[in-house]
Structure 1
Amino acid sequence: MITTAAAPIITWEKLPDDYRLPDDPVDNRTQPLLAEALTDALRGNDRINAQSITATNYGICATFNGKIVIKAPDWAYIPRFSVPPEEIERSYTPQLQGDFPQIVMEFVSETEGGEYSTKPTYPPGKWFFYEQILRVPVYVIFAPHSNTLECYRLGDRGQYAIETPNSDGRHWLPELNLHLGTWLGTALGRTGSWLRWWDEGGNLLLWKDEKLAQERQRTERLLAQLRAAGIEPDLD
């Protein structure tokens, strides 16, 4: 709890069971696809466990000067929840129900939607909420239509500062021991710019469909080699 005179009073309280969560639609079909792809690669490469949360448009709650605030980032990573899963089905309150988010992301549509808002009064802006209330170490803002990736890290003074990417245009995120960068291609019926993960050695974390395609290619090559050697494989 923050109790200094200069700061708002923040508490972590259970959301009432009858609290009506916002039901706003996402801006476009691209946002959930970007989020799905991020989680797919982590899950398929054993980079998250059963107690982790990778959330998409999922309400993260705090009580701000006695009023409930809920923000639903386009994607978030929470290392560990500490309550039964059914208790966090609708929303999540850090500290009360587990770890604070370590990474939050907002995907910008054609028009800016408050991703940079530092409004400190109720209801607070997204930037203020992530930086000053949740104190999330990493805030990512990605504009897929312009392939623009901005990665902000919380500094010693409690404020976000933009990070410079490496020579490959990627950002190292020790929270997941992975690099984050952009990738142009086609997946999930969409062609365009995507956010992707790379490991410590610079290897791309493949999506499930990419892994299956690689397996099919290996199988086809093996079958071709056997047939070239005069061996007809028994595929029954």
Structure 2
Amino acid sequence: MTSRTPPITQTDPPRPPWETLPTMYDLPSDNPEDPGLPDDFHFLQPLLLFLTFLPPNWNPAQVYSAADLNLYYDLEHPLWYKRPDWFGAVGTSKLYRGEDLRLSYVTWQEQANPFVVVELLLPGTEGEDLGGTSQEENRPPRKWDVYERILRIPYYIVFSRYTNELQGFHLVGAQYAPMELEEGQLHLPELELKLGIWQGEFQGIERLWLRWFTEAGDLILIPEEKAQQAQQEAQQAQQEAQQAQQQAAEANRKAERLAERLRELGIDPDHL
């Protein structure tokens, strides 16, 4: 009796784990009960705003800004808070009562409410950030309502890194009114600043970023950019000095050739 060899079946090679296991795109980057917790962009973008928020018409000692800091707004509900991605205040000290680093920003104990708030939109947070969700009874109000009605923050700005859309709202009377972009920038005249989108590299990452500009439209530089600019200016000054030395040397050579020619003609150049 002849034995039969079982047929050989081909199987696909095993896939590497990074192709089968959940990735960062599959897993939530926030708490479903508290959406909007930071990702990398929510760390870097507020940092860039923090480093360049320098209103020229305010004493730097009276300018404060923060990112992802609890903002308490209702004395009747002292545990209610919002956590702006970034906010800036003027007319208040950098330290709490001039003494301590802040653990949070408690508006009823501060000298001033925030003057401008920036929220970075995420899928699922647009309703909260733009006032599109309905107000639930016995629940804290939406960010839009807190900024507009309770704290009356003059400027509320939102930016989406997914669509690169920049929107600004200015408090006019009792309500926010949409701001018009001026050459792609929002003008905040009380701060003598503009806020706009800039294409460039920050912390080694090239993309579109939200940046502060002067009223003239010049970029407000971070410390690294200031150092680079100073180095470039020093190199330019050195090059100009070298060119001046070369021009002076060439002028001396021309003067010496002219003097030699005069002597050949019997003229003493020292007595001209």
**Paired residues of 1:81 and 1:97 also in contact (CA < 8 A):** yes
Q: Give 3-state SS (helix, strand or coil) of 2:196's partner.
A: strand
Residue 188 (structure 1) aligned to one of 185, 200, 203: 203
Compare 188-197 and 219-228 and name the one that shifted more: 219-228
- 1:44 positional shift: 10
Say if 1:96 and 1:27 are closer, same or farther in 2 by CA, change over 3 A. closer
Tell me which protein shows more helix as a share of its residues. 2
Counterparts of 1:88 and 1:98, CA distance in 2: 15
The structure whose RCO (Cα within 8 Å, separation 6+) is larger is 1
Counterparts of 2:196 and 2:166, CA distance in 1: 8
Counterparts of 1:203 and 1:192, CA distance in 2: 19
- 1:213 positional shift: 1.1
Residue 147 (structure 2) aligned to one of 122, 130, 140: 130
TM-score, with length taken from structure 2? 0.67
Tell me which protein shows more strand as a share of its residues. 1
- 1:85 positional shift: 3.9
- 1:32 positional shift: 2.1
Asked if 1:151 corresponds to 2:168, the answer is: yes
Structure 2 residue aligned with 1:174:
189
Residue 165 (structure 1) aligned to one of 177, 181, 205: 181
Paired amino acid for 1:59: N
Counterparts of 2:37 and 2:170, CA distance in 1: 26
Structure 2 residue aligned with 1:224:
239
**Paired residues of 2:56 and 2:192 also in contact (CA < 8 A):** no
Asked if 1:103 corresponds to 2:107, the answer is: no
Structure 1 residue aligned with 2:44:
33
- 1:43 positional shift: 4.5
Q: Larger C-alpha radius of gyration, 1 or 2? A: 2
Counterparts of 2:167 and 2:35, CA distance in 1: 25
Gapped runs of 5+ residues in structure 1? 1-22, 231-236
Q: Would you say how many aligned residue pairs link Structure 1 and Structure 2?
A: 207
